[in-house]
Amino acid sequence: MTKIADYISKNARQNVVEAIKRANDNSEYHALLSLTEERALERADAVDRGEITGRLAGVPFVVKDNFLAFGAPTTAASRMLEGFKAPLQATAVEKLEAEGAICIGKANLDAFAHGGSTENSAFGPTLNAYDKTKVAGGSSGGSAVVTALDIVPFALGSDTGGSIRQPASFNGVVGVKPTYGTVSRYGVVAMASSTDTIGVFTTDAYDAELIMDIMAGKDDKDMTTLPDFFKPTAAKSGLKIGLITETMTDDVDLEVQQATLAYVERLKSAGHTVTEVTLPIVQYALAMYYIIVPAEVSSNLARYDGIRYGHRAEGVANLAELYGKSRDEGFVTENKRRIMIGSYVLSSGFFDAYYLQAQKARTLLVNEFNKLFADYDVLIGPTTPTPAFGLGENTADPIKMYLADIMTVPASLAGLPAISVPAGKSAAGLPIGVQLVGQRRSDAMLLALAQSVEEA
Ligand code: GLN
């Protein structure tokens, strides 16, 4: 697979023309919703004339279509925002552009990032890079697939409960979900504000470090951003690593367990110690997540009323009908399910029983993680219980779909950095990923650890 360095000091126009050709040649995967060809070529020519310089000068990339970016509509893969032209660009995109990177297109996702397979896209699913009968994963499925197919060397995604890590593991690439607040969320369509993070897909952990280094930092336009703490670092030796036993039960696919144990062996031969640890409260993490996230979703999606922006229904008799019909036509089933669950758990009779309980349980989860991090530097486990599942396999049963998020939601609820790294393939040739989780702000250390394993 190609790396960012393969594009540096090359003719930028050629980089862009070739990336767009690869995108078009691979259109059957439906990884991209649009190309930003005209703007990309203009920027490429500016790079070639020496007017734009930087650490990523002339490097093509793709952004998930819930990032506001110029050159194509920002749809969040929904009818609600179909054709929506961004009035500004996301801070993350601006920062990459300031270093000379060139966005060539917008990647498919589950509508409003609700999902784990990209099958909830209003415009049709993305196919897995290794097997077209399997899902790409999600919600950032398109970004994972364009990276895995070498269309571009990196792609941006958002991760609220696993949307970068899970598709990264399903497509054999590196996926980074940083510490909550590392990268500005300004200009990214909000899903659940207390767990939304911005991260990246790359083909190795060195490139991930470079992109995170560029994107990280305080942004006055996002009050949750942390002062820039992300500093590339050398790999530490002799780390204490905990293998979370709750992620290695009989419910987890045997090949996934074996790949995880093989990765553990590589960590051990690199001189780290790996011991089994337990995090009993993770059995409740999905229940917490699927209360808290819909609550925040229902609030964030309230802005789509058919009046201020987005889809507006026609042929309505009154205001209530305008709201109702616009939202009915603009949202997919999964969006509506979450709005309903969220409104329910926040309603006066049920707030204490559901939302408040979930928030209290979330605090217990944070405490359990903190207790482990008193003794361990890094926690490890599979990124997902199975390799990529079949298209249509889980769509009829939302609970089955939600179960696929069991490994990734704990770090999201606790705001911890977590990365998924390739750890081999199943007998059927499907990629398997393992997840490394660290304490808040240990992002660079996790990437350095992954680099040292890649090298060995
Ligand atoms: N699959 C998870 C969900 O459906 C994660 C989504 C995300 O991280 N955006 O909520």
pLDDT of residue 309: 86
Name the residue at shortest CA distance from atom 3 of ligand 1. Answer: 115
**Percent share of the chain, pLDDT over 70:** 100
pLDDT tier, 173 (very low <50, low <70, confident <90, very high otherwise): very high
Catalytic residue among 78, 140, 158, 163: 163
pLDDT digit string (tens) for 79-129?
999 999 999 999 999 999 999 999 999 999 999 999 999 999 999 999 999
Average pLDDT, the chain: 97
For residue 325, indicate whether it is catalytic: no
Does residue 59 belong to any structural domain of this protein?
yes
Mutate to test the pocket of ligand 1, among 114, 195, 288 (most ligand atoms within 8 A of CB): 114
For residue 134, indicate whether it is catalytic: no
Give the range of the structural domain holding residue 82, as residue numbers without chain letter.
4-215
Name the residue at shortest CA distance from atom 4 of ligand 1. Answer: 115
pLDDT digit string (tens) for 287-316?
999 999 999 999 999 999 999 889 999 999
pLDDT of residue 235: 92
Query: Which atom of ligand 1 lies nearest, measured to the CA of 289?
Result: 10
- Taking 90 as the threshold, does the pLDDT of residue 238 lie above it? yes
- Taking 90 as the threshold, does the pLDDT of residue 31 lie above it? yes
For residue 139, indicate whether it is catalytic: yes
Does residue 132 belong to any structural domain of this protein?
yes
Does residue 410 belong to any structural domain of this protein?
no
Query: Which atom of ligand 1 lies nearest, measured to the CA of 160?
Result: 8
Domain at 183, CATH number: 3.90.1300.10
Does residue 79 belong to any structural domain of this protein?
yes
Does residue 384 belong to any structural domain of this protein?
no
pLDDT of residue 327: 98
Domain count of the chain?
1
Query: Which atom of ligand 1 lies nearest, measured to the CA of 138?
Result: 1
pLDDT of residue 382: 98
Report residues whose beta carbon is within 6 angstroms of any ligand 1 atom.
Answer: 113-116, 139, 159-163, 191, 293, 405
Does residue 393 belong to any structural domain of this protein?
no
Catalytic residue among 78, 117, 139, 426: 139
pTM of the model: 0.98
pLDDT digit string (tens) for 243-257?
999 999 999 999 999
- Taking 90 as the threshold, does the pLDDT of residue 456 lie above it? no
Ligand 1 centroid to Cα of residue 264, in Å, is 27
Query: Which atom of ligand 1 lies nearest, measured to the CA of 290?
Result: 10
When pLDDT is averaged across residues 391-403 and rounded to a whole number, the result is 94
- Taking 90 as the threshold, does the pLDDT of residue 414 lie above it? yes
Does residue 281 belong to any structural domain of this protein?
no
pLDDT of residue 263: 98
* DSSP tag of 304: -
When pLDDT is averaged across residues 49-66 and rounded to a whole number, the result is 98
**Percent share of the chain, pLDDT over 90:** 98
Does residue 60 belong to any structural domain of this protein?
yes
